[in-house]
Structure 1
């Protein structure tokens, strides 16, 4: 079950009820189950498959054919469970007030727990086999369709503990969740931000959701007050949050050590069989290209017309509001035009997606907010939108269709066990679509202010996804290295490290306000270790691949479509290497940042012409 989710803005207005939405603007979940009664039948099938799985417990070492039969049952169980869960949840997402689908989602969730429990014996029992026997199983033709799955289990054997030790580690799992849970409570429940006056003279209480909106305000006083209020609030909790983050990092280091990894970074990346060089290369490549980021900061300072550029000036658009009204039908046309470089086959599937009930287009009462692509193996993917007629929603549509097309090609080509792709590659297809659409928009937009607006949008994506996430990644590396060296993570240490990173990344034209040293305290991703770097690598790989597609044409397209069709049939680094980017080297990141520098040149030139 893959679900790629993007938050999109919502506006306050009277929304139609679900029953009032036109059929052509709704997705067709009937393609998954023709009725709720059919869903109930599949629910019962899952219960039967759970029973069947029980028959294999303790018998996997009897013969390769017994294991093959077990894995076939495991596949049937997984596929049926996926369909049951995804359908119920997506029906609920149409209208969260619908009690029927609330109930079905709850039942599906409980059933999923039963499935996890019923299949938990599988990996330990496979790994309990003697090494030679497991090798013989992997080589047996009866298990040919499960070769990669079995090799992957075997690869990680050195880091699997004895059955009793694994049981203890599993039981400690809830304790290990404590830092993240505590941070969530502090951040989302206990922390109350002050009220400030917005640009219209209204009192507005700052919330997590409103903070970025306030930081995009054209009124600098509003931005400054919101910035100061947020970091003052975190500052009052700095000892507690530092202790919480310290505990989280210690937890990562503990798990790495008991599983015999050289570092927490190595342990985290091993899940995807990725070398730590990929991580360190990313940081080095971005640091080598910091002069372009410093140029961007200088341009922002110039376009905003300020004597000093402060940290609270980073989110306000550099270009005054430009009206670009893009109705959904026009967005569909633009996405199809923008993705033409991917060839006619891709285009035909895209046509089918837009005309055959893949997309749920508009907001309605009770509908889940934001946007995502999701689905279940064996049925075409789906895209949930809450479409508004603007540039952000145009690019969100292209992004989610990228995820959907990745799933379509992967599911069509790969067996169920190999179709699921890893997070390391998940953002490549979505970001590549945005990159190609942006190229088309820039080439076909005549109005220089609209062009500047688009460039602003794209440059901000680079800043937020490559530079900022890499800075986060470097901070995580430093915090874990400190703990591994036996040093404590005090509030002073954390603030000092974070402040220095901001100085390095943003350069001499940015006033690094004292308050920013507390920003580490509000980043939830730091409790999900070594995750954020994948945003930067995915964006870089997508940018490099889009340049190959635009430059080479057919050979690059063929490699890319093979990549989409590969699902999770190989390790992420290998899949991307076959597509044409070697993420084990810094080259794709360097290529991506060269595009950033080129766009910056264009923006500087346009700024001169328009005279702002």
Structure 2
């Protein structure tokens, strides 16, 4: 068996040590069924409290504890089923388990929807009295504060139950997108650099786009986006459905926009989103200069969209076997201290990671798991430098989860999506710093600079372009527009022209890229890649410059979970995202690195 080939293999042919240990969650499907039934029992038990949540301080505590037990259990049931399905989305057994778990999760949401409205029926003075007389409620102080903050956006018990019931239907656009993109669609084969037939997959598309052979890049690019073009109307319908879902929920909860509704969940002002887009708009000249350098370095008359992933330096071929990547990552993250590296080692050696691509496997990479499980990582590993950084990135998520759930009780054991990308990209920033400091020659330094600039391009500029696209399409529908495939293609192509500048030939095929991006179904998620990267640049510099004091602040950040609002958690670590400073500083560093590369070209 050869995991290094571009063509995906069947899962049973991959060695056990390269597969995640989901058996540590449930030994078999029968054990999962037992918890599935236990959730149903807990649902019946909590429903008995309807109308009684705030009868007394002790009753309130009972409800909150039972709710924690219920969500802790259903999380295990749902996450396990989804991760099993992600191993091979063609397996009907796990399609069924995921469907059942999703339905049960909707039931849990419905049957617990009375809790918040009943808490909000209490006057603040009465709630304060409860807090004083029942010691156990002290644990829930921040949770209750956050509930009260959303008082104007919580509906009646009957309305909340109705919204919860809609949950299953509301997930349809994302489900259809995933099934079409991951399970049903098939890309054609092309000839690789050696003339061998290679079937294009989600996992090997970017490695093919990094090829030194321009023919391979162009053929892969056109093959993928021409395939999406064939399904453009279906993808436009799924995205339109998702946007309408977001708008429906925002209106139902009395928000002025879907953006406000999405950000308010974590108490993030919309100005943070707008400031990000404005800051990037004000720093597009550096991106244009980078594209000009790329064109000159590649000795091209015209720079096309399929030329932006290939390394500028052609005679440095960095291939990194998976086992070797672990050594490199551990060296790069040494500034975070011995305890952090020990946790990293545990992850590598205890099967947290599902490493290689197989037929039917979900594309991309992610960190998942529950409060009670290992922090799992899904990869589709190919031996590229980019994939090494993907491991560091996803392990940043997982170790953040590890610290949070170890340091915090269940109620605060996770962290908000606004903070989700900070730890992951701090790992990347530390790793690239290590590699640049240990570079062997100017050529290799140029290669690494190219890679780091690509992190800025893809994580700050590109994700901000995605964020602007999301904002535009939501506002368009909120103002009465309809998201047709033609409209989406026109807008998306225009944004590419704006962000990449005059030295880029924006090929017609890129107009269909919006159909390929799963994050557009995540309700204003992607802007946090850019804010997270900007925060990470600041934190990594503090760690490298200040040493132990900054590391202590940072580990404190990782341990904070949801014990405070994310803006406050990040501020304690040393970054204030209510100002434009972190984004401006990150883009200032990008500009400096572009100038440094220009001197080496």
Distance in 1 between the 2:289 and 2:73 partners? Answer: 53
Output the aligned Cα RMSD: 4.1
Superposed CA offset, 1:518-567 (max 9, x none): 44444443344322111111122112211111122222212111110001
Query: Is the deviation greater in 521-530 or in 303-312?
Result: 521-530
Query: Is the deviation greater in 238-247 or in 442-451?
Result: 238-247
Distance in 2 between the 1:105 and 1:581 partners? Answer: 39
Is 1:294 the counterpart of 2:288 in the alignment? yes
User: Would the alpha carbon gap of residues 427 and 55 (structure 1) be closer, same or farther in structure 2, given more than 3 Å must change?
Assistant: same
The one of 435, 441, 446 equivalent to 1:441 is 435
Match of 1:594 in 2: 588
Match of 2:57 in 1: 64
SS of equivalent residue, structure 2 residue 316: coil
Q: Is the CA contact (8 Å cut-off) linking 1:372 and 1:384 kept in structure 2? A: yes
Q: Is the CA contact (8 Å cut-off) linking 1:18 and 1:94 kept in structure 2? A: no
Is 1:159 the counterpart of 2:181 in the alignment? no
Q: Is the CA contact (8 Å cut-off) linking 2:111 and 2:161 kept in structure 1? A: no
Match of 1:585 in 2: 579
Q: Is the CA contact (8 Å cut-off) linking 2:377 and 2:398 kept in structure 1? A: yes
Match of 2:563 in 1: 569
Distance in 2 between the 1:209 and 1:311 partners? Answer: 19
Distance in 2 between the 1:184 and 1:19 partners? Answer: 24
- Unaligned segments of structure 2, at least 5 residues: none
Q: Is the CA contact (8 Å cut-off) linking 1:17 and 1:364 kept in structure 2? A: no
Q: Please state how far the C-alpha of 1:469 moved relative to its aligned partner.
A: 1.1
User: Would the alpha carbon gap of residues 154 and 191 (structure 1) be closer, same or farther in structure 2, given more than 3 Å must change?
Assistant: same
User: Would the alpha carbon gap of residues 406 and 477 (structure 1) be closer, same or farther in structure 2, given more than 3 Å must change?
Assistant: same
> Which structure 2 residues correspond to residues 411-560 of structure 1 after superposition, within 5 A?
411-487=405-481, 493-560=487-554
Q: Please state how far the C-alpha of 1:440 moved relative to its aligned partner.
A: 0.6
> Which structure 2 residues correspond to residues 178-217 of structure 1 after superposition, within 5 A?
180=174, 211-217=205-211
Q: Is the CA contact (8 Å cut-off) linking 2:567 and 2:576 kept in structure 1? A: yes
Q: Please state how far the C-alpha of 1:326 moved relative to its aligned partner.
A: 3.8
> Which structure 2 residues correspond to residues 259-298 of structure 1 after superposition, within 5 A?
259-298=253-292
Match of 1:79 in 2: 72
User: Would the alpha carbon gap of residues 489 and 108 (structure 1) be closer, same or farther in structure 2, given more than 3 Å must change?
Assistant: closer
Q: Is the CA contact (8 Å cut-off) linking 2:400 and 2:559 kept in structure 1? A: yes
Query: Is the deviation greater in 580-589 or in 246-255?
Result: 246-255
Distance in 2 between the 1:583 and 1:439 partners? Answer: 23
Q: TM-score, normalised by structure 1?
A: 0.83
Q: Is the CA contact (8 Å cut-off) linking 1:68 and 1:142 kept in structure 2? A: yes
Distance in 1 between the 2:59 and 2:377 partners? Answer: 39
User: Would the alpha carbon gap of residues 224 and 577 (structure 1) be closer, same or farther in structure 2, given more than 3 Å must change?
Assistant: same
Q: Please state how far the C-alpha of 1:276 moved relative to its aligned partner.
A: 0.5
**Length, aligned pairs only:** 597
The one of 382, 385, 390 equivalent to 1:391 is 385
> Which structure 2 residues correspond to residues 128-139 of structure 1 after superposition, within 5 A?
128-130=121-123, 132-134=125-127, 136-137=129-130
Distance in 2 between the 1:112 and 1:490 partners? Answer: 32
Q: Please state how far the C-alpha of 1:509 moved relative to its aligned partner.
A: 1.5
User: Would the alpha carbon gap of residues 191 and 394 (structure 1) be closer, same or farther in structure 2, given more than 3 Å must change?
Assistant: closer
User: Would the alpha carbon gap of residues 399 and 488 (structure 1) be closer, same or farther in structure 2, given more than 3 Å must change?
Assistant: closer
Superposed CA offset, 1:388-407 (max 9, x none): 65533432332232122212
Superposed CA offset, 1:465-510 (max 9, x none): 1101111211222233333344555666544433332222112212
Q: Is the CA contact (8 Å cut-off) linking 2:106 and 2:165 kept in structure 1? A: no
Distance in 1 between the 2:203 and 2:329 partners? Answer: 29
- Unaligned segments of structure 1, at least 5 residues: 1-7, 608-612
Query: Is the deviation greater in 165-174 or in 337-346?
Result: 165-174
The one of 323, 327, 331 equivalent to 1:333 is 327
Distance in 1 between the 2:8 and 2:489 partners? Answer: 42
Distance in 2 between the 1:289 and 1:364 partners? Answer: 37
The one of 324, 341, 347 equivalent to 1:347 is 341
Query: Is the deviation greater in 588-597 or in 524-533?
Result: 524-533
Distance in 2 between the 1:305 and 1:245 partners? Answer: 39
SS of equivalent residue, structure 1 residue 463: helix
User: Would the alpha carbon gap of residues 283 and 106 (structure 1) be closer, same or farther in structure 2, given more than 3 Å must change?
Assistant: closer
Distance in 2 between the 1:178 and 1:315 partners? Answer: 33
Distance in 2 between the 1:420 and 1:195 partners? Answer: 42
Q: Please state how far the C-alpha of 1:410 moved relative to its aligned partner.
A: 0.8
Q: Please state how far the C-alpha of 1:147 moved relative to its aligned partner.
A: 1.3
